[in-house]
Chain A
Amino acid sequence: MIDFDNVGLRYGMGPEVLRDLTFDVPRRSFQFLTGPSGAGKTTLMRLMFMSLQPTRGFVRVFGQDITTIPQQKLPKLRRRIGIVFQDFRLLDHLTTYENVALPLRVRGKEETSYRTDVIELLKWVGLGDRMNVLPPILSGGEKQRAAIARALIDQPEILLADEPTGNVDAPLARRLLRLFLELNKLGTAVIIATHDLSLMDQIDARRMILSGGRLEIYE
């Protein structure tokens, strides 16, 4: 689904943050992306989300070279990818419910058609009684779960989650991980960027480790 071929990336005139990356993310796969802070996990996520282009090499998403995708086709492709930003990016003037429903709303769907799905998902991530609350009032962990729910709501083909357990305690992290696994069983390829070793130790999954700009993969 996502193919990297000898990809290198530098910001401006800086050093190469990513070097010679060659890997692919297979359909229905589950993997962790790890490495120390500043290793380039977020940068790699942005490449996969097509919000950044490589300085050299090729990135193909759904079989298309991202450097040649015309701008107006980006939204349609991005709709097939769910993303959890490290900084959540919830809209402060919308309630938790409205934030989670946002991807469906911008696809032009009627509120009545998704209402129960959104409520179900919110209950699943433990935000059943925080639906009418605005993000500034939510705790860090609640915001994180709202951001995850928003990424999942339209059952994407690929889920990119940047530090999705960074702000939650261990039991909730386990619960979220179970949620990701469940989603994966339903057919979504999942990529979780994290530096939390204990999280990765819980399941036996593919590990992609970034260090010094290079990537090592342990199947």
Chain B
Amino acid sequence: MNDMSETEQEMSGSRRKIVLRPTAPIVPAGNIAGSSLMFVISIMSFLACLTLGAVIMVQDTASSWQSQISREITIQIKPEPGMDLEAELIKARDIALTFTGAMDATIVDTAATARLLEPWLGEGLDLDELPVPRLVIVTIDEATPPDFAGMRKALDESVQNVFLDDHRTWVDRLVAMANTTVIIGLCVLALVFMATILTVVFATRGALSGNHHIVEVLHFVGAEASFVASKFQRHFFLIALKGALAGGITAALTFAIASFWASHSLATPESDQATALFGGFSMGAGGYIGALAIVVITAVLTALTTRITVIRTIMEIDLVRSDPTLSI
């Protein structure tokens, strides 16, 4: 109680107490230009992250195609009247197995062959009546592939009507296609990056143009260019960081949702199609690091543009000194 009355006395003794709001930042906190800059930056970083993810996905898929297909080769034997097809198949299998790097060789039996041909020739097929080629599937060790040329020669020497398909042509074509796709993807990524950079630069300059009078007043009351630049730089860096993070996170979520959808509806034809093409929606750690890099680069770029623009604005204000024609 005593304390209270003492304070009260003190209060009335001194003149009216002055309450000031916490000092506001020199650069105005929020305006329309600032929020539209944030919006533009989030859109651009969203697009850039999405493109990056897509390119990584295509690249991963391309390399997985390559390795999956080259894991197997096939030996094909065409039947001929009077030829003991089964014996030739066994011979071919045994020859293939003598090569190091050939881990396993299986003869596709008549039932399996019939099943393979079912879609074209229908059920209840008697293969003996038809000159259907038969296959030996050889699984190879990718790390130490067998000598295909040697195997082909050995087969030609002792087996009739034999043809060794190491899928070379097929794999080569597929790899070429995948590489083209990746190159196109990289070009798109480069274009999106450039568009992002240009958009960020121009949007930042647009947002700053509304602050010209603030720059001028600060300079006229004695602020050095570096002081003014650092204030604006920090402000716009934070705006850009928020925008870019929003865009990046949205892109990552898009991928996460797509992969969730892909793994939880695997049975549907649509998702099978997508999985066959893209091998599941995953960007891997590289994708997330890349997205983070995009976010950081965008924010730094905005800060840098801000700095350069502010310093140039001040230089222009001072340039008016030397040329009255430029004066406002």
Residues in chain A within 8 A of chain B (CB atoms): 9-13, 49-53, 55, 66-67, 71-72, 74-76, 78-79, 83, 85, 89-91, 93-95, 97-98, 101-103, 105-108, 111, 115, 119, 131-132, 150, 154
Contacts and interface: CB of A to CB of B under 8 A. Distances in A.
Contact of B18 (A90, A102, A119): A119
B18 A106 contact: no
Contacts of A49: 220
A131 B18 contact: yes
Contacts of A51: 220, 317-318, 320-321
Contacts of A75: 219, 222-225
Contacts of A67: 322
B69 interface: no
A89 B217 contact: yes
A52 B321 contact: yes
* Chain B binding surface, main DSSP class: helix
Nearest to A70: B318
A51 B317 CA distance: 8
A71 B223 CA distance: 12
24 contacts: A9-B324, A10-B324, A11-B324, A12-B324, A12-B325, A51-B317, A51-B318, A52-B324, A53-B321, A71-B315, A75-B222, A75-B223, A85-B220, A93-B24, A93-B28, A95-B20, A98-B23, A106-B221, A106-B223, A107-B222, A111-B23, A119-B18, A132-B19, A132-B21
Contacts of B318: 51, 71, 74
List 7 A-B pairs, minimum CB-CB distance, nearest first. Answer: A106-B223, A79-B222, A12-B325, A93-B28, A103-B221, A53-B321, A75-B224
A78 B24 contact: no
B24 A94 contact: yes
Contact of B222 (A52, A78, A94, A132): A78
Contact of B26 (A9, A105, A119): A105
B213 A89 contact: yes
B100 to A, nearest CB: 75
Given A52-B327, A75-B223, A97-B20, A91 B217 contact: yes
* Chain A binding surface, main DSSP class: loop
B218 interface: yes
Interface string B133-175: 0000000000000000000000000000000000000000000
B322 A53 contact: yes
Given A51-B318, A74-B318, A93-B24, 8 more contacts: A50-B321, A52-B321, A71-B318, A72-B225, A75-B224, A79-B222, A106-B222, A131-B18
Interface string B212-232: 011011111111110110000
Nearest to B318: A71
Contact of B320 (A52, A55, A105): A52
A38 to B, nearest CB: 16
B220 A89 contact: yes
